[in-house]
Structure 1
Amino acid sequence: MSETIARAWAVTRHDGMVLGFTDHDRSLQFEGIEFRPDSGLSARAVVQGSGLSVDNTEAAGALSDSAITEIDLMAGRWDAADVRLWDVDWSNPENRRLIFRGHLGEVTRSGAAFRAELRGLSEPLNRTQGRVYHPRCSASLGDGQCKFDLTRPGYSAEGVIVAHEDGQRFTLSGIEGHDAAWFERGQLVVISGVANGLSGIVKRDLASAGTRREVELWSGLGVYPAIGDRVRLVAGCDKRGETCRMKFLNYLNFRGFPHLPPEDWLLTPKVNR
């Protein structure tokens, strides 16, 4: 049977798009997916460790307008996509064995080719567990621990891109009624155009004359939006207790320890009285 074994794998993005690939010279069909041979995509040998070791392998291929495009890769639309890999009998696809399941890790590209790291299901088990005792909040704004509702009036605003530089520094119109730096450490989310759905963390937020606003991200968007596209700004949090109490009125859910003594206190010699 080894003469009829091929490798087939399916990649499912978070937006629900599913693509199938195979190293066989003809298309294969199973589980409602067509596995195409013309994608230029291949996988290296799977490395699977015992215990809680991280399963790992790599996928390499050529950028294809009909499958994986350069724009989609740069936009991060393939980040953390679900991956399943089978050994399959191409003469009878019902005779197959699932040998890997995980998700895409880091994706790099060079010219017209790309390489993606595959990470196994056991990877999260190697993450550090437990709370960190720190004066600042350990929650993320709006998550299950913070419980703040970011849809509340005043904590987000929509505007239009008037100009931008390298998809990183934006001039926006239509956003008013917010103090300067209100959106720093928050998010800029593109909600229309070719970059729809992409987001970045706000580094600087400057209120200009009238309704114009200058916003700079920590890193540029993978796909440049067009002038006239709409964006949403979401308020940011610096995780201080004072900010939680005064800006968000959410101190009941503050997850930090603001009254912990500083490190210097531990090193200060105690004087007997």
Structure 2
Amino acid sequence: MKPTTPALAAHLAGEVTTLATCWRLERADGWVRGFTDHDRELVVDGLTYVASTGFLPSAIKTASDLSVDNLDVDGFLDDAALRAEDLIAGLFDGARIEVFIVNWADLGQGRLLLRKGFLGEIKRADQRFSAEIRGLSNRLQQTAGKLYSRLCRVDLGSSECGVALGPRTDTYAVTQVIAADTVRIVTARATGYFTFGKATFTTGANAGAVNEVLLHDGQTIRLFVPMPRPIVVGDQIVLVAGCDKTPETCNAKFANILNFQGEPHIPGNDKVFSYPVRS
């Protein structure tokens, strides 16, 4: 049995129980919220767990062979807690989650932890959502290591890359909104400087949302996907230089060819199969 307090263990062993399931959700940006399937709010360890979102868990299954634990949580999108725009913007990607039960009639008995992990795939339909919870053992199923690649394998600005992003990061105000994925700014950077870079909105309805830059053409910035909420003139956007991960860009744009993490000169499969076969 999972460890818990003697008082809660005794309650679980009784013939009648008063249990409620709680979820503690913490995003990467520090946003923390609690939810419960109880019919009223509960305060556990100083955090209020709201009951208005209609959370419903699936059955929890844990195997001893380190296979991926399965648990899905279904619920309603609540304007005050969970919004469709936040899901689309990726604010909940990789969020930490804890699932536990308490005795709602006596919260002083402590809690019994059922699952701890991260949010995986999130599906949305109308005003409902379904989120996959991946347990800690899921990381053991992920492939680790490096592969040969014609392009650079690492992200611009990482420790392996070594390029300092500070001098290559600018903040701009949106001067014109062309579409949900296209805006105009006033920049002296050359065309293409921010292509494949990162765009972070710091003010406005999309504050905190991060997107990738598909195209930087003069004063025009086009994003990979439309922003979840309307962009308005004056919104502040932080742009970071982009890299197409080719050795030419690494050398000419960043003078960083010595740290290039790719193998552009290794022959590909087409070259291997082009050699004549001797009988």
TM-score range with shorter-chain normalisation? 0.7 to 0.9
How does 1:1-273 map onto structure 2 within 5 Å?
Answer: 1=14, 3-93=17-107, 94-152=109-167, 155-172=168-185, 174-176=186-188, 178-207=189-218, 213-269=219-275
Per-residue CA shift, 1:107-128, capped at 9, x if unaligned? 2222222222211112222111
Contact 1:166/1:224 (8 A) holds in 2: no
Does the residue aligned with 1:245 lie in a helix, a strand or coil? helix
> For 1:138 and 1:67, how far apart are their aligned partners in 2?
37
Q: Between Structure 1 and Structure 2, which shows a larger proportion of helix residues?
A: 2
Does the residue aligned with 2:134 lie in a helix, a strand or coil? strand
Contact 2:171/2:236 (8 A) holds in 1: yes
Write the letter of the residue equivalent to 2:256. N
Write the letter of the residue equivalent to 1:128. T
State the shift of 1:137 in Å.
0.9
TM-score (norm 2): 0.86
Does the residue aligned with 2:85 lie in a helix, a strand or coil? helix
> For 2:231 and 2:131, how far apart are their aligned partners in 1?
25
Contact 2:178/2:184 (8 A) holds in 1: no
Contact 2:199/2:240 (8 A) holds in 1: yes
Does the residue aligned with 2:152 lie in a helix, a strand or coil? coil
State the shift of 1:224 in Å.
2.5
> For 2:178 and 2:54, how far apart are their aligned partners in 1?
34
> For 2:209 and 2:64, how far apart are their aligned partners in 1?
38
Aligned residues: 263
State the shift of 1:270 in Å.
5.3
Q: What fraction of aligned residue pairs are identical, expressed as a percent?
A: 34
Structure 2 residue aligned with 1:210: none
Write the letter of the residue equivalent to 2:190. D
Does the residue aligned with 1:103 lie in a helix, a strand or coil? strand
> For 2:275 and 2:91, how far apart are their aligned partners in 1?
55
State the shift of 1:157 in Å.
2.8
- CA distance 1:99–1:169, shift in 2 (3 Å): same
> For 1:54 and 1:165, how far apart are their aligned partners in 2?
44
Q: Which moved more, 1:155-164 or 1:99-108?
A: 155-164
Does the residue aligned with 1:122 lie in a helix, a strand or coil? helix
Q: Which moved more, 1:126-135 or 1:45-54?
A: 45-54
Does the residue aligned with 1:38 lie in a helix, a strand or coil? coil
Write the letter of the residue equivalent to 1:240. T
Per-residue CA shift, 1:53-92, capped at 9, x if unaligned? 1112111222223322333333322222111011222233
Contact 1:158/1:175 (8 A) holds in 2: no
- Structure 1 alignment gaps of length 5 or more: 208-212
> For 2:128 and 2:33, how far apart are their aligned partners in 1?
18
TM-score (norm 1): 0.87
Does the residue aligned with 1:264 lie in a helix, a strand or coil? helix
Q: What value does the CA root-mean-square deviation take over the aligned residues?
A: 2.1
- CA distance 1:75–1:268, shift in 2 (3 Å): closer
